[in-house]
């Protein structure tokens, strides 16, 4: 994918600001106006939070501020140029003349790093910086970057491997009917959603077993004889009028569909989960299993290195 394909020509701007705060406000206000994003406050708060971790300026007159948000599902890039320079409180004391603001969905770390690398490759060269600063208008700056033909690598994401999702159940749905749906689809869990279809939890077969046999396990330990089906009969009688929300033990564990396979693997490993629901804008659209990730990585390896001959048995 070409770098220019991810940029909006209307988000290039000559800055009037003289300070870091004014420059950031100018870029944020321009971005939300052009893209019709009702998120100015959220973006500004995310920028302030990030600033507490360290400076945005990379030195030599270049700065890469960024904000991470849950509310968006694509990356926005806004470029500001200031031939006279902005006091950006840079470590080297140099005024900043090119500012590239990234507004990023929290899961899209890989693409963000690819974009940073692409812009750094351009702006590390004083010749390119000078041409950008001398452009007669902002469209000329976009055209200059476009004509470079710079390409960025795009990583495989969960949308490439997501499996079909079992049916969702509402949090206020009858519990017993939802258990029947779980059994009908031979699923380990069902996504539990709110009235807007947003994922809020999951109804897991393992949790139902824990609830149903809790007293039975204690009785067996005491040597008491109990009929095999008694615990579940008693359990469903006790909760005949319960809804899913009353007995949902598991919070929602999910991964956004835009997440790269590597990032998804790390999340699954760190949480010790064999699978996760995949969501788009908070709504469940599928499942990802660790086995599918392994198969995908093996396929990618074959595509790069070629299929290896089978090892001969001794």
Quick one: CA dihedral 28, 29, 34, 40, positive or negative? Answer: positive
- The structural domains of the chain, ordered by start, are 3-154 (3.40.930.10), 159-305 (3.10.580.10)
| CA 234 to chain CA centroid, nearest Å | 43
pLDDT in tens, 54-103: 767 677 899 999 999 988 888 999 999 999 999 888 878 889 999 999 99
Predicted confidence at residue 221, as pLDDT, reads 52
**pLDDT for res 173:** 93
Under the banding of pLDDT at 50, 70 and 90, the label for residue 199 is very high
Best mean pLDDT range from 12-21, 48-57, 293-302: 12-21
Span 145-180, pLDDT tens digits: 999 999 887 677 888 888 898 999 999 999 888 988
C-alpha to C-alpha distance for 132 and 134, rounded to whole angstroms: 5
Longest CA pairwise span in the chain (Å) = 88
pLDDT tens for 240-283 read 788 998 888 777 889 998 888 888 888 888 888 889 999 998 99
DSSP 93-123: -PPEEEEEEEEEETT-HHHHHHHHHHHHHHH
Average pLDDT score over residue span 194-202: 92
Q: pLDDT tens for residues 101-128?
A: 999 988 677 778 888 889 999 999 999 9
The residues facing 203 across adjacent strands are 190
Residue 233 buriedness (CB in 10 A; 0-12 / 13-18 / 19+): exposed
- Say if residue 304's pLDDT is above 50: no
CA distance 156 to 297: 10
Q: What per-residue confidence (pLDDT) applies to 224?
A: 53
111 DSSP β-pair partners: none
What's the CA angle centered on 149, arms 36 and 33, to 5 degrees?
A: 10
Note every long-range contact of 278-281, with CB atoms under 8 Å and residues 24 or more positions apart, other chains counting: 278/158, 278/162, 278/165, 278/254, 279/199, 279/254, 279/255, 280/73, 280/256, 281/73
Mean pLDDT of the chain, nearest integer: 84
Q: What is the pTM of this model?
A: 0.57
Residue 253 has what pLDDT?
86
Give the pLDDT confidence score for residue 215 in this predicted structure.
53
Which residue would you say has higher pLDDT here, 159 or 53?
159
At residue 47, the pLDDT reads 92
* pLDDT value at residue 193: 94
- In this predicted structure, the answer to whether residue 306 has a pLDDT above a threshold of 50 is no
Q: Determine the pLDDT at residue 109.
A: 75
Does pLDDT of 43 surpass 80?
yes
**Residues facing residue 57 across a β-bridge:** 63
CA distance 205 to 202: 10
């Amino acid at each position: 994918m070409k770098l220019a394909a991810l940029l909006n020509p209307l988000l290039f701007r000559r800055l009037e600001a003289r300070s870091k705060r004014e420059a950031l406000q100018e870029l944020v206000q321009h971005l939300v106006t052009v893209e019709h994003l009702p998120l100015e406050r959220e973006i500004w708060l995310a920028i302030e939070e990030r600033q507490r971790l360290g400076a945005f300026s990379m030195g030599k007159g270049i700065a890469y501020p960024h904000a991470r948000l849950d509310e968006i599902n694509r990356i926005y890039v806004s470029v500001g140029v200031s031939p006279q320079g902005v006091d950006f409180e840079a470590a080297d004391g140099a005024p900043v003349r090119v500012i590239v603001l990234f507004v990023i969905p929290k899961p899209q770390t890989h693409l963000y790093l690819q974009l940073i690398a692409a812009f750094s490759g351009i702006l590390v060269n004083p010749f390119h910086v000078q041409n950008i600063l001398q452009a007669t208008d902002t469209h000329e700056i976009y055209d200059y970057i476009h004509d470079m033909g710079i390409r960025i690598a795009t990583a495989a994401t969960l949308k490439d491997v997501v499996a079909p999702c079992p049916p969702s159940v509402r949090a206020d749905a009858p519990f017993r009917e939802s258990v029947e749906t779980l059994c009908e689809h031979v699923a380990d869990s069902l996504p539990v959603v709110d009235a807007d279809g947003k994922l809020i939890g999951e109804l897991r077969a393992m949790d139902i077993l824990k609830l149903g046999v809790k007293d039975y396990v204690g009785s067996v330990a005491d040597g008491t004889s109990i009929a095999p089906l008694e615990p579940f009969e008693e359990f469903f009688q006790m909760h005949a009028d319960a809804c899913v929300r009353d007995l949902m033990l598991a919070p929602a564990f999910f991964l956004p569909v835009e997440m790269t396979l590597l990032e998804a693997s790390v999340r699954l490993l760190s949480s010790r989960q064999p699978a996760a629901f995949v969501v788009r804008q908070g709504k469940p659209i599928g499942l990802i299993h660790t086995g599918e990730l392994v198969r995908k990585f093996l396929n990618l390896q074959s595509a790069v290195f070629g299929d290896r001959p089978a090892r001969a048995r001794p």
